[in-house]
Amino acid sequence: MSVISSFLAVLCSAVLLSLGISNEYLHFGSALFGIIALIPLYTAFCISPTRRRTALMFGALIAFVHLCSSFWLAYFENFAIFTLGASSVAYLFLGFLFGHWFYYGMKLPLSLRPFAFAGLWTLWEWFKGSGFVAYPWGSLSMTTLSLRPLIQIADITGVWGITFLIALISALLAEIIRAAARLTADFSKPQGRPLLRPLAFTAALLLLINGYGLFRIYQKRTPQQNLNLVLVQQNTDPWVSGLDLFFDNLYNTQQLTEQAITESPVKPDLIVWNESSLAYGYDQFQDYYRQLPFKESFTDFLQRMDIPILTGSPLLQDAEREKYSNAVYLIAADGTVLDTYSKIQLICFAEYIPFIDHPFVQRFFDSLVGFSSGWAPGTEYKAMTFTAQNGNDIRFAAPICFEDAFPTLCADLHNQKSNILINLTNDSWSKTASAEYQHFAVAYFRAIELRTPLVRSTNGGYTCVVDPVGTVTASLPLFTADALSVSVPTYPYRRTFYAQWKDWLPALFLAIALISAAAYRFNPAFCKKAVVYMEHPLARLSLAARKKRQQKRLWKKVWFRKRRKLIKEFRE
């Protein structure tokens, strides 16, 4: 396979995967594109002649998918050079390093090769979505929102089991196509039809998983109580600032909230605004909020509504260094702060800058983008408690913005005996439908993994409620100023298998990969090359023409020319 053909296959896979992920045309993605996306890549891997080319193909694929699906990162104003440019280069490099594993995985016998490919792809997505530079976007699981029975397995394996299944199906489809094109002997009777066993195993596995999914979907659940919420979508421009404009927007938000409360059939238990509704820290600027907006101050509004509110606002962590955290406040109707939670998982280069305490790094970013500060990370996993209108206490966890994209972090929050996840977000700075729906597609699986309701209250979208089996029960259209009064059934706290053991599946794959690598290192016969039956490229030439072509190729080799020169000198 030529270099051009290899990278055309990579480009084809990148485009298909980007179409499978939520985009401007397919808002909730396409499972079909997700399932077939890796077929060209797998085929190219099978006939890649060198380890370097395999690694380059994988690195290029990851960079292309990042550019095509996360193009909206370029709208992060002064930081676009880092959020999109530097991240794409970084993924090209990291993908190249990781791609070496695929070269060895494709050497396995046919009965293992598709499983190795799927396991390694799952490991990559786990690696990409973990750590302080984690970015779990551009994943195969984001293409599967429509496969409701299949994705119920997330409460056991997390999204990693879904990723593994989709990659496995792609790999097997590629093997079927190769066999149908007679590039391999996968269905050859003399060779024992080696493709039948993995196909039969995968079919049985899919039947079992879909059966489990149908059982979970139709399982009867008895709610502990109904939580009545008012979700307010402000739809303000996050790039426009100013004290007067902020308090004008705040008053408009109060009006939207009051309208929804008035239209609600019952008195709400809680008002939920978004991540940056109170842009000036509530703990430091309470005097402002007691007086402003002029038409009706924020504190007076709360007292008149007589309902507690959950809203985002900066929280001072270190007064000496002027370090703030991105936080949410639970505020009582009388204006007192009941509890706060500070964001733990910060987005690299968007919310914090690595090594920013170093003077050289500070000077560099000051000169490049005009500032060199960021949020201070939170340190405590916690659930907050408030009393509903019926007198019962409700415990909830409040992951902030992109935190609802991280499975283990949400599991740790849920394990504080939370009854519901309430996410406050403001990523409308992107001003694209792709960004809003992609964030939803990543966060969506938290409801299934933890079997708990997920509520998302955002600035511009996607504001919605998701039940424990993944049904979107209520939502607001993107980029509209509106409010939603909803009644959300809550259930007694229960720890799912995934909440208990978290990322056990990719950890298992990692252990298998390391053991296999060690076995391969000390016993090369452990990973024999797959038997591939292909017609020799020169088979159709005559014997004389074939010898002439082979001789011409040999003369291009330096070692051959040197050897001929030595023979000639010896004869002379």
E-strand stretches of 378-531: 384-387, 393-397, 420-425, 454-458, 464-466, 472-475, 482-490
CB atoms within 10 A of CB 543: 8
Angle at 277 between CA 395 and CA 263, to 5 degrees: 70
CA-to-CA distance for 168 and 147, rounded, in angstroms? 16
Q: Do 209 and 201 form a contact (C-beta atoms < 8 A)?
A: no
CB atoms within 10 A of CB 367: 9
Q: How long a stretch of residues is the chain?
A: 572
Burial class (CB in 10 A: 0-12, 13-18, 19+), 391: exposed
Task: Write down the catalytic residue from 12, 348, 401, 464.
Answer: 401
* Cα distance between the two ends of the chain: 42
Q: Which two tokens stand for residue 41?
A: 């890549």
Q: Residue 230: enclosing H or E segment and its boundaries?
A: strand 225-233
525 forms beta bridges with: none
CA-to-CA distance for 92 and 59, rounded, in angstroms? 4
343 in catalytic set: yes
Say which DSSP state 340 is in. E
Nearest to 233 by CA among 478, 562, 558: 478
Residue at 375: amino acid letter: W
Q: Do 483 and 259 form a contact (C-beta atoms < 8 A)?
A: yes
Helix (H, G, I), strand (E, B) or coil at 14: helix
Task: Write down the catalytic residue from 275, 403, 436, 449.
Answer: 275
Cα 417 to Cα 54, 154, 374, distances in angstroms = 46, 20, 31
DSSP one-letter string for 268-335:
-SEEE--TTSS-S-TTT-HHHHHH-SSSS-HHHHHHHHT--EEEEEEEEEETTTTEEEEEEEEE-TTS
Q: Residue 196: enclosing H or E segment and its boundaries?
A: helix 196-218
Task: Write down the catalytic residue from 125, 343, 410, 464.
Answer: 343
Say which DSSP state 84 is in. I
223-226's contacts with Cβ under 8 Å and 24+ in sequence apart are 223/489, 223/490, 223/491, 224/419, 224/490, 224/491, 224/492, 225/388, 225/390, 225/392, 225/394, 225/489, 225/490, 226/487, 226/488, 226/489, 226/490
Q: Which two tokens stand for residue 263?
A: 């239209």
Q: Which residues, 6+ apart, have CB-to-CB distance to 274 below 8 Å?
A: 232, 233, 234, 311, 312, 424, 425, 426, 457, 458, 459
275 in catalytic set: yes
Say which DSSP state 525 is in. G
E-strand stretches of 38-170: none
Tell how far CA 78 is from the center of its chain.
24
Catalogue the active-site residues. 275, 343, 401
